[in-house]
């Protein structure tokens, strides 16, 4: 059951797959696989906690700079995840949303994503996945579209963000102990609460998400006021 003091919209920078694998002397690909299991747990936990929207930073526009083998592993993991979890998304009433330029991926991945978007369109809770996403690029794109309509101001830019149809971002979490935003939801995070957690992403689960929501519920949000 949803707690009215919990956030409506939580976003997570899922960090630490590589370090998780290194600590266990495993290939990085195993860290990414374990990270995929954490995604499944967290999506289920978000439902149990009554969150309206969960946004996950899955693949940034800068991730293309990684080793070709690692990128290939990530793409294959994405393929398998969509195929394996789509029915579960449908059963849980999830609506999938992609933020970012996902059409830059291989044609078969684009097709799988668009099929998933279509099949989950009737969902009542949102899982937004950031793919080939960068916040600076998003803001530049939104400003360009706003200019084409003749006006550039916060309202016109916000209307053209990928997240325009989502609830305002309440809580942004980053795992692995790193304290930076890494070009993720820079506009949306203007008045979001932030929480940096030491847990590596593959170890993240319902307890951590619940603790984050409890921490959020105790904070006083002022939006620049006193």
List 17, 37, 63, 67, catalytic entry: 63
Question: Residue 224: inside a domain, yes or no?
Answer: no
Question: Residue 222: inside a domain, yes or no?
Answer: no
Question: Residue 1: inside a domain, yes or no?
Answer: no
Active site residue 73: no
Question: Residue 4: inside a domain, yes or no?
Answer: no
Show the tokens assigned to 150. 């003749």
Number of domains composing the chain: 1
User: For 61-118, how does the pLDDT look when each residue is reduced to its tens digit (9 = 90+)?
Assistant: 999 998 898 999 899 889 988 888 888 888 889 999 999 999 999 999 999 999 999 9
- CATH number, domain of 193, equals 3.40.1180.10
Q: Range of 163's domain?
A: 9-217
Active site residue 76: no
List 3, 5, 15, 198, catalytic entry: 15
Give, for all 226 residues of the chain, the pLDDT tens digit: 568 899 999 999 999 999 999 999 999 999 999 999 999 999 999 999 999 999 999 999 999 998 898 999 899 889 988 888 888 888 889 999 999 999 999 999 999 999 999 999 999 999 999 999 999 999 999 999 999 998 899 999 999 999 999 999 999 999 999 999 999 999 999 999 999 999 999 999 999 999 999 999 998 877 665 5
Show the tokens assigned to 196. 């940096």
Question: Residue 3: inside a domain, yes or no?
Answer: no
Question: Residue 182: inside a domain, yes or no?
Answer: yes
Question: Residue 226: inside a domain, yes or no?
Answer: no
Question: Residue 225: inside a domain, yes or no?
Answer: no
| Predicted TM-score of the model (pTM) | 0.94
């Amino acid at each position: 059951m949803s707690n009215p003091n919990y956030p409506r919209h939580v976003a997570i920078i899922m960090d630490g797959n590589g370090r998780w694998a290194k600590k266990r002397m495993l290939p990085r690909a195993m860290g990414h696989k374990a990270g995929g299991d954490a995604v499944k747990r967290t999506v289920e936990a978000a439902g149990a906690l009554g969150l309206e929207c969960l946004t996950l930073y899955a693949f940034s526009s800068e991730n293309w700079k990684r080793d070709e083998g690692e990128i290939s592993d990530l793409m294959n993991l994405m393929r398998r995840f969509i195929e394996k979890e789509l029915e579960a998304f449908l059963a849980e009433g999830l609506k999938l949303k992609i933020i970012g330029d996902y059409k830059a991926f291989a044609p078969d991945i684009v097709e799988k994503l668009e099929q998933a978007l279509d099949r989950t369109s009737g969902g009542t809770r949102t899982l937004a996945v950031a793919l080939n996403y960068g916040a600076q690029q998003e803001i530049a794109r939104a400003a360009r579209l706003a200019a084409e309509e003749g006006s550039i101001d916060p309202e016109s830019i916000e209307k053209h963000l990928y997240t325009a149809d989502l609830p305002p971002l309440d809580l942004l979490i980053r795992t692995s102990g790193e304290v930076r935003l890494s070009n993720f939801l820079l506009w949306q995070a203007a008045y979001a609460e932030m929480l940096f957690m030491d847990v590596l992403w593959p170890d993240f689960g319902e307890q951590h998400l619940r603790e984050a929501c409890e921490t959020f519920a105790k904070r006083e949000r002022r939006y620049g006021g006193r």
